[in-house]
């Protein structure tokens, strides 16, 4: 059994997917690009601002599930520019609480709406 989770305080999905799905003790948050939830505008002026907005969208979806960023056990980060890695990592480190979850960063040819970054996470309700 699974339940869908959504938050109007996070960016709306840009395609056919749920913002998050809870299955047992796990919550799977779909990839979040840096869309401002109020304006729908893509935050792209810096990788730092884009990373922050993506993580804030993740955070708001987790809050809708009664969770926080500290519940994240796995994060996946997708970037289109290898030069953005350091700025993304510094911003991620400043927002994501320690102990940091497991993570990978993958460089891809493109992301929805030409975003610079997309972040998805898996959270555990007992962390």
Task: Name the percent of the chain lying above pLDDT 90.
Answer: 97
* Gap between the Cα atoms of 62 and 19, Å rounded: 10
Query: What secondary structure letter does DSSP report for 2?
Result: -
| pTM (2 d.p.) | 0.97
Per-residue pLDDT reduced to its tens digit, 99-123: 999 999 999 999 999 999 999 999 9
Please give the domain boundaries of the chain with CATH numbers for all domains.
Answer: 3-124 (3.30.1330.40)
List, in order, residues 6 or more apart from 69 with CB less than 8 Å away.
Answer: 55, 58, 59, 62, 95, 96, 97
Residue with tokens 């959270």: 123
Q: Supply the pLDDT for residue 108.
A: 98
């Amino acid at each position: 059994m699974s339940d869908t989770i959504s938050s109007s305080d996070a960016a709306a999905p840009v395609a056919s997917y749920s913002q998050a799905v809870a299955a047992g003790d796990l919550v799977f948050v779909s990839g979040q690009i840096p869309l401002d939830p109020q304006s729908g505008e893509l935050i792209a002026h810096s990788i730092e601002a884009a990373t922050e907005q993506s993580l804030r969208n993740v955070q708001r979806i987790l809050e809708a599930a009664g969770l926080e960023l500290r519940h994240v056990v796995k994060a996946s980060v997708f970037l289109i520019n290898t030069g953005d890695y350091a700025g993304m990592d510094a911003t991620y480190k400043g927002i994501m609480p320690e102990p940091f979850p497991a993570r990978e960063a993958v460089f891809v040819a493109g992301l929805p709406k030409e975003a610079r970054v997309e972040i998805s996470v898996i959270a555990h309700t007992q962390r």
